[in-house]
Amino acid sequence: MKGMDDRPRRRQAKTLKQELPYPYNQDLSKVLRGLNRRTPFGRRRLANDPLTAAYLMAAVRLIQRHLGPGASRTLADPDDADSISRPLLSFLSQRAVAAEVDHNPPPFHCQGRVSTMRERWRHQSNFIADVLRFGLWASHYPAAHQDEVAEPEEEVIHGPDPVHGIHQVCYWDMTRLMTTPMFRLGLIAAAEAEGDAVIREAISGRHQVNTPRWKQFYDKFLRSHHLRLRPGVTLDDCADLLVAVADGLAMRALADPAARVLDHARQRSLLGTAVLALIAGCVERADPGDGVPLEQAVNDLVGKASAGPARKSG
C-alpha cells in the first residue's frame, strides 16, 4: 500500500524534472556519485529528484554570486577596500545552500532545509564533490550553447571568408568562457586538483567530452579546404594547445581587465590570432609530395644559426 500511495508523488516529481532547464532535466545519476543511498536504484532515483536539482541550482547561484561574473564581494573592514573576504568554496556551506534554495527561480523547489540536504549527502565533502562533478560537467559548456556558434562555424568550413569565421568563433568562445561561472569554478578546482581524485576526474571528464567535439570541427576545416597537418602534429596536439591558450587568455582577462585580450569593437580576440598562427605554422596544402615537419619548416624559415664574428686572439 505504501508503494501505491507513493506513485502519484513519483509521477509528479518526474513531470517536474522534465520541466527543469537544461542540464538539470538530464539524467544526473552518473554525475552525482556522493548521494546517501546504498543501491544503484536508490542513487539513480535520488539523483533525478527535483529537490536534489534545487540544491544544485542554489549551489550554482552561490558560485556565480561569489566567483562571478558580477561577483558580490564582502569587505571585512568597510573603510579598507583591500579587506575583501576570499572564502573560496566555504560559501557552499549546508546552511547557506539551504537558505539559497528559498530564492530559486521556478520551476525549482523553493524551500530548503539542512536536514533534507543531509538526507541526500551525509557529509559536506560528498556534497562539494558532487557540486564539482556537476559544475565541471561538459554539458554546461559548450554543449548548452552550440546553436550560438553554428553560423560562424559554417563560415569557417564552407563560407567565402573562413578567416572572418575563425575570428567570430574565437571571439564567441572567449566571451562565453568569461561569462560562464563554471569556468571560474574550474580555475579554483584546477588549483586544488593535486592529490584530489574527485576534482581530477571531473576536470578530465570534461576534456574527454569536449576534445573530440573540437577535433571533429578541426578535421572538417582541414578537409573542406584541402589542407593537412604537418608530419608530427596531430589533432590532439591542436586541441590541447588551443584549449590551453583559450583558458590562459580568459584567466588573463579576468585578472587584468586592461589586458588586450578582447577587442569588442571589432569582435576579435587574441585567441583568433593564436588560431591563425597555428594554422600558418602547423598546416600545409594536402598536395602530393612529402610533408615538411614543423621543426624543419622553422629551420627553413630562420636558416642555420650564424657562427658570428670570429673572436680576436690575445
Residues 147, 265, single domain; the answer is yes
What proportion of the chain, given as a percentage, has pLDDT over 70?
A: 84
The pTM of the full predicted model, rounded to 2 decimals, is: 0.69
Residues 99, 156, single domain; the answer is no
Q: Give residue 227's region: left, alpha or beta (phi > 0; psi -120 to 50).
A: beta
Confidence of residue 265 (pLDDT cuts 50, 70, 90): very high
Burial environment of residue 240 by CB neighbours within 10 A (0 to 12, 13 to 18, 19 or more): middle
Distance CA 298, CA 192 (A): 38
Kindly state whether residue 80 falls inside one of the protein's structural domains. yes
Residues 101, 20, single domain; the answer is yes
Kindly state whether residue 300 falls inside one of the protein's structural domains. no
Residues 100, 227, single domain; the answer is no
Residues 68, 187, single domain; the answer is no
Residue 2 clears pLDDT 50, i.e. is over it: no
Residues 157, 175, single domain; the answer is yes
Of 265, 297, 257, 267, the C-alpha closest to 281 is: 297
CB atoms within 10 A of CB 24: 21
Residue 223's contacts (CB-CB under 8 Å, 6 or more residues apart) are: none
Please report which helix (H) or strand (E) contains residue 4, including its range. helix 2-19
Single residue among 79, 112, 135 that ends a domain in this structure = 135
Tens digit of each residue's pLDDT (9 = 90 or more) over 236-262: 999 999 999 999 999 999 889 889 999
Give yes or no for a contact between 121 and 130, defined as CB atoms under 8 angstroms apart: yes
Single residue among 78, 111, 135 that ends a domain in this structure = 135
The set of cell numbers assigned to 268 is 576579435
Give yes or no for a contact between 264 and 253, defined as CB atoms under 8 angstroms apart: no
Report the domain count for the chain.
2
Range of the domain at 16: 7-135
Over its C-alpha atoms, the chain yields an Rg (Å, rounded) of 25
> Please, which residues bridge with residue 229 across strands?
283
Residues 129, 191, single domain; the answer is no
Residues 26, 117, single domain; the answer is yes
Distance CA 139, CA 125 (A): 23
Tens digit of each residue's pLDDT (9 = 90 or more) over 185-222: 888 888 777 777 777 888 888 888 888 888 999 999 99
CATH number for the domain harbouring residue 197: 1.10.357
CB atoms within 10 A of CB 52: 24
Residues 239, 272, single domain; the answer is yes
Residues 20, 119, single domain; the answer is yes
Single residue among 135, 161, 187 that ends a domain in this structure = 135
Tens digit of each residue's pLDDT (9 = 90 or more) over 63-92: 888 777 776 667 667 776 655 565 667 888
Kindly state whether residue 295 falls inside one of the protein's structural domains. no
Distance CA 72, CA 234 (A): 43
Tens digit of each residue's pLDDT (9 = 90 or more) over 20-50: 998 899 898 888 888 888 888 888 989 999 9
Distance CA 57, CA 21 (A): 10
